[in-house]
Amino acid sequence: MTAADLDTLADGAVIADAAGVVTRVNLAAGQLLGVRPDDAVGRPLAEVLALKDQDGRDWFSTNCPYLGLATRTAVPEQPWLLPDGSEVLVVARIHRPALAESVDWVAVSLRSGRGRARLDRERSDLVATVAHELRSPLTGVKGFVQALLNRWDKLNDDQKKLMLTTVASDSDRLSRLIAELLDVARIDTGRLQLYPRPCDAATLVTRVVESVRASTSRVIDLDVATDLPEVSADPDKFTQVVTNVVENAVRHGDGTVRVAVEGTGLAEADGGRGVRLVVDDEGSGIPPELRRRVFTKFWKDGARGGSGLGLYIVNGLVRAHGGTVTIDQAPGGGARIVLTWPSEDRRPQA
């Protein structure tokens, strides 16, 4: 590989010969190490790699790339600190012409640790969010169970029933959150299992709306067109999607929630026939610049609860069926979520 080829690499690269003298340094490595590539050539590798760990030890004397067993071929990836205190991830390749011969070159690769730090922050945010969502219902369950154990003889039947009802509700909330987390993991890893078959979208949507109506005082208008085509869907996943979207509208809207189901009548080039589900609320809406973020994990708008996973799962499930999800502004000023669901099996090919 020529020096020009090395300069095209995104990661830093430093190559040293059999004597431990640097022969090549690409631009990325020069920027990370704070040296001019031409000035680094001809200097000892131990001097060019000015890397320290938290205890002040340097990379070269710690890993001793020119020593050790003849079968040694690499130094595994390790985090090290640059002189300015920023982290880099360092891995090395050790080459020998033969097992009985000495090392003839060492290639060291350096990569900024910012990506790993971002992943660590995302994992920390994930843990914190999940812990918060789990703690709230668990606190309710523990509190009421403890009260029942300590005061069983002093509580009347109505009080016991109220406490047990609350415990059951909080347990359902925990189950839903765990199910959501499992769905997220399956979507992220491509292990989502679907069992689509022809379904009556009107019947499924009507059942969802009636169920949500029973648990809220909010008015939910339902308008279902006639002669709707069947949709190709896993009925459980379809119900989960519709429930999530309608409950989201109830949670974030302030007035009437309007649900409309109609046929798409699309031509084959536009995705074929299917069903369009439109859900409008009368809330504050979602600004255009934020609409793409709605489908990311743990996105929340305002302080109205929820895990922040609902619309991420909706997007994943709909697209897994070959449908689409879009967000627009409702006529009343709130948010409008539009789902299209195909009549034929249009799942993306693996």
347 falls within a domain: no
Let me know: does 315 contact 192? Beta carbons within 8 Å: no
Assess whether 214 and 304 both reside in one domain: yes
pLDDT for the residue 267: 45
Assess whether 34 and 104 both reside in one domain: yes
Which residues are within 8 A (CB) of 246 and not within 5 positions of it... i.e. 6 or more apart?
A: 208, 209, 212, 220, 257, 259, 279
pLDDT for the residue 265: 66
Assess whether 201 and 151 both reside in one domain: no
* Across 144-158, 196-210, 227-241, 261-275, least confident range: 261-275
* Across 36-50, 82-96, 228-242, 256-270, least confident range: 256-270
Band (56; pLDDT cuts 50, 70, 90): confident
Assess whether 207 and 319 both reside in one domain: yes
Could you give the 3-state DSSP secondary structure of residue 94? strand
- As given in the structure block, the two tokens for residue 207 are 């059942």
pLDDT of residue 126 exceeding 70: no
pLDDT for the residue 347: 82
Report pLDDT digits (tens) over 275-299. Answer: 999 999 988 888 887 777 788 776 6
Q: What pTM was estimated for this model as a whole?
A: 0.60
- CA 185, distance to chain mean position in Å, is 8
Largest CA distance in the chain: 87
pLDDT for the residue 118: 67
* Across 22-36, 53-67, 84-98, 121-135, least confident range: 121-135
Assess whether 229 and 319 both reside in one domain: yes
- CA 90, distance to chain mean position in Å, is 27
- Comparing 177 with 42, the larger pLDDT belongs to 42
350 falls within a domain: no
138 falls within a domain: yes
- Comparing 3 with 155, the larger pLDDT belongs to 155
pLDDT for the residue 122: 64
Assess whether 44 and 107 both reside in one domain: yes
Domain that holds residue 25: 3-112
Stretch 325-348: mean pLDDT: 88
Amino acid code (one letter) for 190: G
The neighbouring-strand residues paired with 78 are 90
pLDDT for the residue 9: 86
Average confidence score pLDDT of the chain: 86
CATH of the domain at 311: 3.30.565.10
Helices (H) and strands (E) in the chain, counts: 10, 12
348 falls within a domain: no
- CA 233, distance to chain mean position in Å, is 24
Let me know: does 118 contact 125? Beta carbons within 8 Å: no
Domain end residue (candidates: 112, 145, 168) = 112
Backbone dihedral region for residue 314 (phi beyond 0: left; psi -120 to 50: alpha; all else: beta): alpha
Which residue bears the tokens 């090392």? 103
320 falls within a domain: yes
Assess whether 142 and 240 both reside in one domain: no
What separation, in Å, do the N-terminal and C-terminal C-alpha atoms of the chain show? Answer: 36
* Across 58-72, 116-130, 211-225, 280-294, least confident range: 116-130
Burial 92-120 (b: 16+ CB within 10 A, else e): bebebeeeeeebebbbbbbbbbeeeeeee
Band (114; pLDDT cuts 50, 70, 90): confident
pLDDT of residue 41 exceeding 90: yes
Assess whether 241 and 156 both reside in one domain: no
Domain end residue (candidates: 112, 136, 169) = 112
- Comparing 255 with 74, the larger pLDDT belongs to 74
Assess whether 266 and 150 both reside in one domain: no
- Comparing 130 with 58, the larger pLDDT belongs to 58
Assess whether 105 and 123 both reside in one domain: no
